Amino acid sequence: MTEEEEFGYENILVEMQAGVMQVTLNRPEKFNALSVDALGERHEAMMSADEDPDVGAVVITGSPETKRPAFAAGADISEMAGLDVMTLRSFALFGQEVLLTIENLDKPVIAAVNGLALGGGCELAMASHVRLASEDAAFGQPEINLGLIPGFGGSQRLPRLIGRGPAFEMLLTGDAIDAATALRLGLVNKVVPGDQLLAEAGSLAEKMASKAPLARELILDVVNRGAALGIEQALRIEADLFGSMASTEDTRNGLTAFLEKRKPEWKGC
């Protein structure tokens, strides 16, 4: 990305260009593992993106400076060791809160998975709306190998994304899958060469950022809300939101622009 705007964080790097915020987990010495502080800074960055009208989409990735390519190699085990019941539960709840913020953001979030996405890293990718992966990426929930279960939503999002059978296999063996398998199972949208990953993610994010802001926000909302409902109730919500857009300037402008064969000018209202 060029024409960058940099923000002052210790565990992440934040850059802005052309309506896209790029958030890079920057803990290369820990293979970009998710510490409490790193989660807190990511949460702060997501809230900033949510409130900033100049942000139309977000790309999340991991620092490329690790010894082995890593998006995020799980939660920081050194912080977890020795925690008591209540503290470990609080850590899980905090991680879940951060990932729910990503999942429920009213702007699209694209995970550019540039290497290992294990444990919390896989959960972070799954909370994103779209996932692109480099050819050497790997995905896994290895918590069972540590005598644990997933804590940031992996037991719930993984079956919803790839189905119960493949999810049970990953969760109960702790084995990782490669990018090609992740693509076949529907865990990722696309696999690209590593040197093209950020450009591909940035291009897709810029395309999404250029679309009608209110429609983009409502699409994210109705998909997220509908996923937890029966089909009939979800369809009623869709119809309600569809009808409510008749009063918006963007819808009127979009329909008129189509008929007049011109490019619409979105106002976000």
Nearest in space to 43 (alpha carbons), one of 112, 86, 105: 105
Rg (CA), the chain: 19
- Reported as type and span, the H/E element at residue 185 is helix 179-185
Residue of 97, 123, 206, 238 with catalytic role: 123
Distance CA 120, CA 34 (A): 7
Catalytic: 123?
yes
**Residue type for 225, please?**
R
Catalytic: 5?
no
The encoded tokens of residue 6 equal 């940099």
**Rounded to 5°, angle at Cα 101 from 114 and 8:** 65
- In contact, 143 and 174? CB cutoff 8 Å: yes
Instruction: Tell me how far apart the terminal alpha carbons of the chain are, to the nearest angstrom.
Output: 29
- Please report, for residues 115, 134, 186, the alpha-carbon distance to residue 197 in angstroms, rounded to integers and kept in the order given: 11, 6, 18
Residue of 10, 143, 238, 249 with catalytic role: 143
Query: So which residues are the catalytic ones?
Result: 123, 143
